[in-house]
Amino acid sequence: MERKTFFADIVLPLPIPGLFTYRVPFELNEEVSVGKRVVVQFGKKKIYTGLIFSLHENVPLQHTPKYILSVLDEYPIVVPSQFRFWQWMSEYYLCKMGEVMNAAIPAAFKLASESSVVLHPEFDRNFSVLNEKEVLIARALENNQQLSLTEISSIVEQKKIIPLIQTLIEKKVVLTYEELHEKYKPKSVVCVKMSSDYVDEKSWNQAEKMIGKKASKQVALFFAYLQLSRFDSKPHTHITRKELIERAEASTAQLQQLVKKGIFETYEHSVSRLVETDATETVDSIVLSEEQDTALQQIKNGFSKDKVVLLHGITSSGKTELYIKLIQQTLDEGKQVLFLLPEIALTAQIINRLRKYFGKKVGVYHSKYNRDEKAEIWQRLINDQYLGNPSGYQIILGARSSVFLPFKNLGLIIADEEHDSSYKQVEPAPRYHARDAAVYLGGLHQAKIVLGSATPAIESYFNALNGKYALVNLNVRYGNISLPEIEIVNIKDQLKQKKMKSVFSETLYLQMHETLNQKKQIILFQNRRGFSTRVECEDCQWIPQCRSCDVSMVYHKQINLLKCHYCGFSMAIPDHCPACGSTRILSKGLGTEKIEEETSVLFPESSVTRMDLDSTRTKNAYFDIISDFEDRKTDVLIGTQMVTKGLDFDNVELVGIINADAMLNYPDFRSHERAFQLMAQVSGRSGRRDKRGKVIIQTYNSNHPVIQAVLENKYEALCQQQLEHRKQFHYPPYSRLVQITLKHKSPETLTDAANQLADRLRKLFAKKIFGPEYPVVSRIKNLYLKNILIKFDRNAALLKNKEALKIEITAFLKDNPAVILAVDVDPV
DNA sequence: AGCACGCCGACT
DNA sequence: GTCGGCGTGCTC
């Protein structure tokens, strides 16, 4: 037989450009195929898990390639459509394939490697030829089978140990080897079964005799086993040790006795980490309102024209029912569904709602799931591709990273809350927008795409206006719940009339009182965490700054510290001003903590909870806060934008926006759009079936056009106004932005480098280049930052421009390797 | 990203 | 004189 020599182009999970060519050893010729993981050595020390991107017979001329060490998979774990998606992403978002791979593959699929050292089998224990440090290592290895390089480094108390190890290898004292751990292991539980001798009923008497009458717990275990395995209404195929012991109220030791007597045997059984529930209702039982039905027809109409559908449905208009109908239809065609949501909106509420109709067909994929759970979902979808369809995840409900899953026959993608900026990954690369990536992914699979929102992103709405997307409006609240009544309160007037009760206007205060009296719930929204935004010296206006970032420290009362929201550094409040010695140091501005405190003081009877980044650090905190509020254990929920996202509570009657102005004054072209979205979304939380809700907005600028748009619920008007502004200043959707951020610890080096890059880019793109400029926060973690913004024309040849940009950046980095550079395409 | 190599300053 | 600091360049 002819022995062909193959080469494989491998993607490595590293932020370096390009693929790397390895040689396939003959003995692996049968095993290699595109999409399988391989183990390769890269550089002198490191071993990585790579992915076969392509196989060919072209002999590399530049280097002699290294060999692939082993193939890890029986079946590819990445399928060709995914590679095409990755390639698009790396081109569009100007990042490396390895970075895409890192974002895409669950961490559990990557192997960890660390070099270890063991005693050489031929070592003669002649310590006299060794120096002090060498003796230390050899002695340590006599006690431990193996030591990692880091462990050795700590034993000899020095960092540079490679030469040391090398002489030890030469003296035949030690050997090194690469230890690889497979990180993902199927979860297994210990199960119990009857030994083969006792499976037959006739032998049970014999077993009872063996146990003896005195060992009553052992008898109990025996009968509990029979019950679980045969006589229960739903007999178990596998009986876990845990449930058997629980049923018999016995101990592990007592069970061990039975194993010893040869009656029971234990074995390992691998189980799924994922929760499974059955559907309890059918989709047919959902009756759509007339408006919903019309919208559904319009959506299908849009699909028939091969258009992405933008579903603009106000809060509580019943978008989810439409989604469920569309999902069912897709399943009927034998295709898969991807349902995207922003991470924070992926609550039990929506998960349960889908599971109610689709049961086990729903797979959930987001960051709260741990490494192994993610790997399991991926593995199951892969199994579907190669082993028919035994697992049956047909609907994936997930956050942005679920666009990377190995779909087969994807028929529908829904991106709900499509305006939400957390669809955009900021750090690290790939800085992708999951909504936009989903649109590309949909095209790849010829899947239908629905983008849904009560407040669509301006970019999406623009696409709908110019006919690129099909627009479907759903502007009646489901079950005829009326829209909340919105009232604007001017804080300036209230202050003049001395009507402010701490942070609350009289109007809000009275309304809160009434709402609480009626046993209804309140949501208060303030987009600032912490207690006060800053502390300030009354006499000299000194404000404490972070030592490593260019921002003011924020006072957190609960921990009684000043905290930096950029690097996390915290410090005590000085008792006197370091600038002038004054002791009059006061807090200014207000955050969620302060509002929480004031509410408790003014409404001592009520129970108050705060929900922000600080109060939801622990794993279940977010879930607990939500479920307590749902169960009406809390009366007032105070929070940052977290409270605006995708939650439905049916007892909330009042929503208070404590200070609308902070949102409006961000120096960002999207600040008005975002302020509107936040206010409209949080307002939508108010009012349910029985009563019209109320929203009170406190502001210093009651005539601000955004506030007026919220008041009159005029999304279209706001959009027009924003589009006008964007056109004038050449912002998206009239241009496409690429932002380049440069970082360096020295501001001088940074400025030089930034100017140099900007000059280079101006030669290419002339007037499309803006900056370099310091961003609002010009230093983070002791690195200075500067931004260069590129505004490409909307219709320009984008890929060609990006290619030119990439070449320029690469050249720049060659000359300025110390500068850290990040490229952000379509920054949000 | 990691890591080796190379060149400088501060110690045994 | 060596150790360890960091700038520089390469990895199939």
Query: Whole-prediction pTM value?
Result: 0.82
**Between the CA of A16 and the C1' of B7, what is the distance in angstroms?**
26
Cβ of A43 near strand B (under 7 Å)? The reply is yes
Question: What is the three-class DSSP state of A360?
Answer: helix
Cβ of A160 near strand B (under 7 Å)? The reply is no
What amino acid occupies position A217? K
Query: Which nucleotide's C1' is closest to A68 (Cα)?
Result: C12
Q: Which residues of A spanning 20-59 put their CB closer than 7 angstroms to strand C?
A: 20-23, 41-43
CA neighbor of A487 nearest in space, from A196, A632, A695, A345? A695
What amino acid occupies position A102? N
Cβ of A60 near strand B (under 7 Å)? The reply is no
Cβ of A818 near strand C (under 7 Å)? The reply is yes
Question: A21-25, A562-566, A601-605, A710-714: which has the highest mean pLDDT?
Answer: A21-25
Nucleotides of B under 7 A from a protein CB: 1-4
**Between the CA of A782 and the C1' of B8, what is the distance in angstroms?**
25
List of E strands, A332-388: 336-340, 362-365
Q: Which residues of A spanning 623-652 put their CB closer than 7 angstroms to strand B?
A: none
Mean pLDDT of A142-157: 69
Task: Give percent of chain A above pLDDT 90.
Answer: 42
Cβ of A132 near strand C (under 7 Å)? The reply is no
Query: Which nucleotide's C1' is closest to A428 (Cα)?
Result: B1
Is there a contact between A673 and A681 (Cβ–Cβ < 8 Å)? Answer: no
Is there a contact between A175 and A118 (Cβ–Cβ < 8 Å)? Answer: yes
Query: Which nucleotide's C1' is closest to A62 (Cα)?
Result: C12
Query: Which nucleotide's C1' is closest to A63 (Cα)?
Result: C12
Query: Which nucleotide's C1' is closest to A113 (Cα)?
Result: B2
**Between the CA of A496 and the C1' of C10, what is the distance in angstroms?**
69
Q: Which residues of A spanning 55-94 put their CB closer than 7 angstroms to strand C?
A: 60, 62-63, 65-66
Structure confidence at residue A534 (pLDDT):
76
Joined tokens for residue A35: 């999409």
Is there a contact between A172 and A129 (Cβ–Cβ < 8 Å)? Answer: no
A718 vs A709: CA distance, rounded Å: 6
Structure confidence at residue A162 (pLDDT):
57
**Between the CA of A169 and the C1' of B12, what is the distance in angstroms?**
27
Joined tokens for residue A271: 């189980």
Per-residue pLDDT band for A175 (boundaries 50, 70, 90) equals: low
Query: Which nucleotide's C1' is closest to A42 (Cα)?
Result: C11
**Between the CA of A374 and the C1' of B2, what is the distance in angstroms?**
27
Query: Which nucleotide's C1' is closest to A65 (Cα)?
Result: C12
More confident residue, A430 or A1: A430
Structure confidence at residue A216 (pLDDT):
80
Question: A210-219, A287-296, A442-451: which has the highest mean pLDDT?
Answer: A442-451
Is there a contact between A65 and A71 (Cβ–Cβ < 8 Å)? Answer: no
Residue carrying the six token digits 């099909």: A470
Q: Which residues of A spanning 466-485 put their CB closer than 7 angstroms to strand B?
A: none
Task: Give percent of chain A above pLDDT 70.
Answer: 92
Residue carrying the six token digits 């912490």: A530
Structure confidence at residue A532 (pLDDT):
67
Structure confidence at residue A97 (pLDDT):
97
Q: Give the model confidence (pLDDT) of A237-258 as tens digits.
A: 788 888 888 888 888 888 888 8
Q: Give the model confidence (pLDDT) of A660-675 as tens digits.
A: 888 887 778 898 999 9
Query: Which nucleotide's C1' is closest to A156 (Cα)?
Result: C3
Query: Which nucleotide's C1' is closest to A16 (Cα)?
Result: B1
**Between the CA of A272 and the C1' of B7, what is the distance in angstroms?**
56
Question: What is the three-class DSSP state of A322?
Answer: helix
Q: Give the model confidence (pLDDT) of A527-586 as tens digits.
A: 887 766 778 888 888 888 888 778 888 888 878 888 888 777 888 888 888 888 888 888
CB-based burial of residue A125 (10 Å sphere; 0-12 exposed, 13-18 middle, 19+ buried)?
exposed
Cβ of A16 near strand B (under 7 Å)? The reply is yes
Cβ of A162 near strand B (under 7 Å)? The reply is yes
Mean pLDDT of A27-56: 91
**Between the CA of A815 and the C1' of C7, what is the distance in angstroms?**
13
Q: What is the mean pLDDT of chain A?
A: 86
**Between the CA of A36 and the C1' of C6, what is the distance in angstroms?**
39
Per-residue pLDDT band for A143 (boundaries 50, 70, 90) equals: confident
Query: Which nucleotide's C1' is closest to A43 (Cα)?
Result: C11
Cβ of A14 near strand B (under 7 Å)? The reply is yes
Question: Is residue A86 scored above 60 in pLDDT?
Answer: yes
Edge-to-edge strand list for the sheet holding A264-271: A239-240, A187-194, A264-271
Nucleotides of C under 7 A from a protein CB: 3-5, 7-12
- Angle, helix A348-358 to helix A319-332, in steps of 10 degrees: 40
Cβ of A176 near strand B (under 7 Å)? The reply is no
Cβ of A167 near strand C (under 7 Å)? The reply is no
Structure confidence at residue A176 (pLDDT):
58
**Between the CA of A159 and the C1' of B9, what is the distance in angstroms?**
18
Structure confidence at residue A558 (pLDDT):
79
**Between the CA of A29 and the C1' of C11, what is the distance in angstroms?**
25
More confident residue, A171 or A441: A441
Q: Give the model confidence (pLDDT) of A336-368 as tens digits.
A: 999 999 987 777 888 889 999 999 899 999 877
**Between the CA of A691 and the C1' of C9, what is the distance in angstroms?**
69
Which residue lies nearest C8, CA-to-C1' measured? A817
Question: Is residue A614 scored above 70 in pLDDT?
Answer: yes
Is there a contact between A55 and A35 (Cβ–Cβ < 8 Å)? Answer: no
Give the distance from CA A20 to its chain's centroid.
29
Query: Which nucleotide's C1' is closest to A162 (Cα)?
Result: B4
Structure confidence at residue A177 (pLDDT):
55
A683 vs A687: CA distance, rounded Å: 9
**Between the CA of A162 and the C1' of B11, what is the distance in angstroms?**
22
Cβ of A15 near strand B (under 7 Å)? The reply is yes
Query: Which nucleotide's C1' is closest to A44 (Cα)?
Result: B3
Per-residue pLDDT band for A204 (boundaries 50, 70, 90) equals: confident
Structure confidence at residue A468 (pLDDT):
96
**Between the CA of A754 and the C1' of B7, what is the distance in angstroms?**
28
**Between the CA of A158 and the C1' of B12, what is the distance in angstroms?**
15
Cβ of A16 near strand C (under 7 Å)? The reply is yes
More confident residue, A446 or A135: A446
Structure confidence at residue A666 (pLDDT):
78
Query: Which nucleotide's C1' is closest to A60 (Cα)?
Result: C12
Structure confidence at residue A150 (pLDDT):
64
Q: What angle do CA A679, A683, A686 make, to 5 degrees?
A: 165
**Between the CA of A134 and the C1' of B12, what is the distance in angstroms?**
19
Mean pLDDT of A469-473: 96
Query: Which nucleotide's C1' is closest to A46 (Cα)?
Result: B2
Cβ-Cβ contacts under 8 Å for A695 (sequence gap 6 or more): A484, A485, A486, A487, A654, A655, A656, A657, A682, A683, A686
Query: Which nucleotide's C1' is closest to A40 (Cα)?
Result: C12
**Between the CA of A505 and the C1' of C9, what is the distance in angstroms?**
64
A42 vs A39: CA distance, rounded Å: 10
Mean pLDDT of A70-81: 92
Question: Is residue A697 scored above 70 in pLDDT?
Answer: yes
Structure confidence at residue A715 (pLDDT):
92
